[in-house]
Amino acid sequence: MLIDHPAAFRTRAIADVLRPATADEVVAIVRSGRGPLHPISTGHNWGLGSGLPVADGATVLHLGGLDQVRALDLDRGYAVVEPGVTQGALAELVRDTPRIFNLTGSSLHTSVIGNALERGVGVHRARAEDLVGLEVVLADGERHHVGWWPGTSAVPRTHGLGPTLTHLFTQSSFAVVTAAVVRLLPRPEEVRMLPFTFERDDLADAVDVLREWTAQRLIPPTTKVYNPVAAQANGVRDYLAHVCLSGSGDVVEALSSVLLDAARRSPLLAAPASAADEVVRRTYAGEPDPADTWFLRKTTGCPADRVDAELGLLMFLPIVPFSGEAVTLTEKLVRDCCPSAPGVTMNVLDSDTVDHVIGIGFPPGDLAAAAEARETLDRLHDTFAAEGFLPYRRDVDRPVAATALQARIGQALDPGGVFAPGRYSAGR
């Protein structure tokens, strides 16, 4: 069987696609020796290879059929979910409760576990921070709980006693994950988006101001900045920053007024309310839109189940210091590498760190355009690596080699190669 992709990635030969419905069935498959297995949750890792394995000959283990929410505790703020539970389903389940789930800007049909194992980025924080425990099936078929698990202690905590094993299994191919414990955030009383614009020449100064506001806790580390290409979706021709304030109504009101005052002494201009998308605001508020509007209408133009067929897309996701100088350099590198200016979104991760989402689109099936897009991506990788601005996620055609210790742990856990080497463990 061949799995193709609209020319974005090399075609892979796949031995089989298996779709278990329970964790017991996963154990049976692992014990059956039908490897090397490539587990995926919903397989919507768009721009990085979706559900493709790195090497030919793997059996894809599609876990979308394991779709139970095994436990939900609104008091202590956690849910135990299986790989097929989508972010939309979990957010819907906690609608109108005192809790919200940290949504990403991707489709509501993407997996909570798939994204957390990729260490994806939610609007409130990195998904890795939502993850407190995993159920893993090892290469010998043994099932283990790592990290925090209900019944072990009263409070879900990322680090228990002793070595923390949870992240041995994120960006890893050491096991199949059949369930995860994820944290739920307290529902804020109010969520308000404040849009600001600034001109291209003010990029460095504006970023330094946003950094200072973040460092001094005037704003949370959740701001998104869109370059003028990406900002067009909001009818803005300059750079657009979406600052999100949330909490009690009084705090949001007070911070808004302090911020608007501070902005008057900066290159940031308060933009009309129309530039602060209501769909985006609701995403921060944890309210899923069943129509998937942000994803479908604002970004891709096609529904989740058509993306692989209708969208030619490569993603480059470098992590960059949160400073005007570094972000200005990033903008220059993107300009130097890309024949036409791509839409770029900058996500603040903390007061020292931002990631950049650089999407390189091309007409699906257009082989010449796809080849050009791949060359552009190679240039971006090389040019950014020279500055130390490395991507936090890799695609299937550009895996990274395991370090010696990672390879040793992989060998100890999976000596027979039951699991296919992944994007973060080439050569294991």
Peptide bond between residue 36 and the one before it cis (omega within 30 degrees of 0): yes
Nearer to ligand FAD, 249 or 301 (CB): 301
Query: What angle (nearest 5°) sits at the alpha carbon of residue 110, between those of residues 105 and 111?
Result: 120
User: Looking at 9, 196, 284, 295, which residue binds ligand FAD (CB under 6 A)?
Assistant: 295
Residue of closest CB approach to ligand FAD: 114
Q: Which of these segments, 102-110, 206-214, 367-375, 405-413, binds ligand FAD (CB under 6 A)?
A: 102-110
User: Looking at 81, 422, 425, 428, which residue binds ligand FAD (CB under 6 A)?
Assistant: 422
Count other Cβ atoms within 10 Å, centred on residue 403: 10
Q: How far is the CB of 65 from ligand FAD (least distance, A)?
A: 12
Q: Does 299 bind ligand FAD (CB under 6 A)?
A: yes
Q: Does 117 bind ligand FAD (CB under 6 A)?
A: yes
Q: How far is the CB of 157 from ligand FAD (least distance, A)?
A: 23
Q: Does 133 bind ligand FAD (CB under 6 A)?
A: no
Q: How far is the CB of 42 from ligand FAD (least distance, A)?
A: 4
Is residue 333 within 8 Å of residue 325, measured between CB atoms? no
Is residue 104 within 8 Å of residue 120, measured between CB atoms? yes
Q: How far is the CB of 165 from ligand FAD (least distance, A)?
A: 14
Contacts with ligand FAD, 200-239, as mask; x by CB under 6 A: ----------------------------------------
Q: How far is CA 46 from CA 13, 264, 343, 395, in A?
A: 19, 40, 16, 9
Q: How far is the CB of 399 from ligand FAD (least distance, A)?
A: 11
User: Looking at 15, 58, 60, 176, which residue binds ligand FAD (CB under 6 A)?
Assistant: 176
State the DSSP string of 59-115. Answer: EEEE-TT---EEEEETTTTEEEE-TT-BHHHHHHHTTTSSEE----SS-TTSBHHHH
State the DSSP string of 162-228. Answer: SS--GGGGSS--S-EEEEEEEE-EEPPSEEEEEEEEE-GGGHHHHHHHHHHHHHTTSS-TT-EEE-H
Report the distance separating Cα 83 and Cα 64, nearest Å. 6
Nearer to ligand FAD, 255 or 338 (CB): 338
Nearer to ligand FAD, 268 or 319 (CB): 319
Nearer to ligand FAD, 132 or 177 (CB): 177
Q: How far is the CB of 162 from ligand FAD (least distance, A)?
A: 23
Q: Which of these segments, 12-20, 109-117, 209-217, 382-390, binds ligand FAD (CB under 6 A)?
A: 109-117
User: Looking at 222, 227, 300, 425, which residue binds ligand FAD (CB under 6 A)?
Assistant: 300
* Burial classification of residue 119, based on how many CB atoms lie within 10 Å of its CB (0-12 exposed, 13-18 middle, 19 or more buried): middle
Determine how β-strand 58-62 pairs with β-strand 37-40.
parallel
In the range 28-87, which residues lie near ligand FAD by CB under 6 A?
39-47, 51, 63, 83
List the beta bridge partners of residue 198: 239
Q: Which of these segments, 192-200, 263-271, 295-303, 330-338, binds ligand FAD (CB under 6 A)?
A: 295-303
Nearest to 64 by CA among 9, 11, 32, 111: 111
Q: Does 364 bind ligand FAD (CB under 6 A)?
A: no
Q: How far is the CB of 90 from ligand FAD (least distance, A)?
A: 12
Report the distance separating Cα 207 and Cα 330, nearest Å. 12
Is residue 389 within 8 Å of residue 25, measured between CB atoms? no
Is residue 133 within 8 Å of residue 145, measured between CB atoms? yes
Report the distance separating Cα 284 and Cα 105, nearest Å. 10
Q: Does 283 bind ligand FAD (CB under 6 A)?
A: no
Q: Does 312 bind ligand FAD (CB under 6 A)?
A: no
Nearer to ligand FAD, 165 or 262 (CB): 165
What is the binding site for ligand FAD (CB under 6 A)? Answer: 39-47, 51, 63, 83, 104-106, 110-111, 113-115, 117-118, 120-121, 176-177, 295, 299-300, 422
